[in-house]
Structure 1
Amino acid sequence: MSNAIEYRRHIIKVMQSKDGWKARALRGSKIASDIVQEATKDAAIAAVKQILDDRATELRSSRGTDDYPCQQEVREALKQIRPSDSQRLMLEAHIAAADRVLTATQLALAAGYDDYVVANGQYGSLGRALAEEMEWEPAQRSDGSPIWTFALATDGSEQPTSEGAEIASHWRWRLRPEVAEAWMSIVASGGG
């Protein structure tokens, strides 16, 4: 058995010591668990897995009635996935928008794209990375494929708009409050 194993998007590192085996979890370069010491390598790995499982259970218990992750879970996930510059621009424009509602075209313009199709791909990619990091499943199309942007936003088309009829007829995304709060927290701490 290797001295580094993957588990729940983490790497568990284990090493023998004079008193048995020590193990801890890392997520990228960040420490994700305390060091545990057990008599055997398998026991040390199992103890760290239990820490990670308990943490995931704790976060899931804070999810809302629609099973969407809480702000803390979203924050931790966003810190791990590190949005690209264009994704960051779209996210920040979405936060700054009235009622946090924007069309795909408006998101595209915020990132400097001429075409909403490119922006949909970028924002959808961010949504997918976020959903996968949180182990959360978004709504699906009729063909069963996930709509990844739902990890970031919900349908904002019910929101009245003072803009022209052309904009009012476009699909509008309402940024999830958990995403907005998580991102603003990251930026406030200097991590954005």
Structure 2
Amino acid sequence: MGTGIVLLIVIAVIALAAIWAISAYNGFVRLRNMVEEAFSTMDVYLKKRYDLIPNLVETVKGYAKHEASTLEKVVQARNMAADARTIEGKIQGENMLQSTLKSLFAIAEAYPDLKANTNFMDLQSQLQRIEDEIANARKYYNAVVKEFNTKVESFPSNIIAGIFQFRRKTMFEVADQTQRENVKVQF
């Protein structure tokens, strides 16, 4: 074999490696943008819920004045979640908000007049629709994050991930173990 053929083979191998590296990098950029888009979509639904919560709290406040500490916790959790600037902060705030909303609806169970209030029922219905939208947005976000994380950890794309500082993204998971337990149905 002549040196010309060896040189062509070396150039071809380098060119293929460069094409692969560019393709892998662009794949990471595409997935990172999909993760950000998925989170932004979910954030829109979360914002709708944040906007609904003060109306819900005010409605409950009219019926359950002595439950002020619970209502205050709901508002604090809502503000913490709404003000979070990172995905991890948003997840932590959301988990806290979920548990305080449960206590808010537990209060409503103790007040039959509140449960019968049309404004409360409408707000509760709106919140349920928003919760369904949030759940669907979380599923999409987690699916995109799973794809991104798999690429970050898989060989040989993990080499490009390491060179260009692509790091694993956080899944949007339930942190409260009581939310993971099976519901007990008794008759």
- Which structure is higher in strand share? 1
Larger proportion of helix: 2
Q: Which has the larger radius of gyration?
A: 2
TM-score, structure 2 normalization: 0.29
Which structure's relative contact order is higher, taking Cα pairs within 8 Å and 6+ residues apart? 2
- When normalised by structure 1's length, the TM-score is 0.28
